[in-house]
C-alpha cells in the first residue's frame, strides 16, 4: 500500500508549513489528486488518519479534489478527457494519446488555526 508513504509525505509538508506559522494547528488539508495518479483515495484517507495522530494535523480534515484525466490526441489534434490511460480518443477513436493532465498529486491548500 503506497498510500501510507504518500500520507507520510503529506504529513511532512503539513508539519513544515505549520512550523513556518507557529504556533498553529491544522484544520483542513486540501489535496488535488489526478484521476490517472494511481492513488486509491479511500486508502489514502485511512493512511492519513493513522499518520496524523499526535501531530499538528491530528484534528485536521482531509479534503480531496479529483482532477480529471486529459490527453492530446495526435490523430485529431484535440485535447480530450480520459478516465484511464488506455482509453481511446472519444472523438476519433484513435489510440495515439499523449497524457497531459490528471497524473498530479499535490497539497493544494492548508487551513491553519
The reported pLDDT for the residue numbered 25 is 86
8 touches 16 (CB < 8 A) = no
Angstrom distance (rounded) from CA 32 to CA 21: 22
Q: pLDDT at position 1, please?
A: 58
Comparing 71 with 25, the larger pLDDT belongs to 71
**Residues 6 or more apart whose Cβ sits within 8 Å of residue 75:** 89, 92, 94, 96
* 86 and 69 Cβ atoms separated by less than 8 Å: no
Residue corresponding to grid cell 488535488:
32
What was the pLDDT predicted at 65? 97
* pLDDT tens digits for range 10-52: 999 999 998 898 778 899 999 999 999 999 999 999 999 999 9
Look up the pTM and report it.
0.85
Please name the residues in contact with 104: beta carbons below 8 A apart, sequence gap of 6 or more: 32, 33, 34, 37, 67
Instruction: CATH number of the domain at 12, please.
Output: 3.30.2320.80
Domain total of the chain: 1
Q: Which residues constitute the domain of residue 91?
A: 3-112
Amino acid at each position: 500500500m503506497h498510500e501510507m508513504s504518500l500520507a507520510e509525505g503529506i504529513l511532512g509538508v503539513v508539519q513544515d508549513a505549520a512550523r513556518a506559522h507557529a504556533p498553529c494547528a491544522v484544520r483542513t488539508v486540501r489535496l488535488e489528486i489526478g484521476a490517472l495518479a494511481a492513488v486509491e483515495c479511500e486508502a489514502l484517507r485511512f493512511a492519513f488518519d493513522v499518520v496524523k495522530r499526535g501531530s499538528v494535523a491530528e484534528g485536521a480534515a482531509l479534503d480531496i479534489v479529483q482532477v480529471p484525466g486529459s490527453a492530446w490526441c495526435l490523430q485529431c489534434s484535440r485535447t480530450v478527457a480520459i478516465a484511464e490511460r488506455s482509453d481511446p480518443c472519444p472523438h476519433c477513436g484513435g489510440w495515439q494519446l499523449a497524457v497531459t493532465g490528471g497524473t498530479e498529486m499535490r497539497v493544494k491548500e492548508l487551513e491553519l488555526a
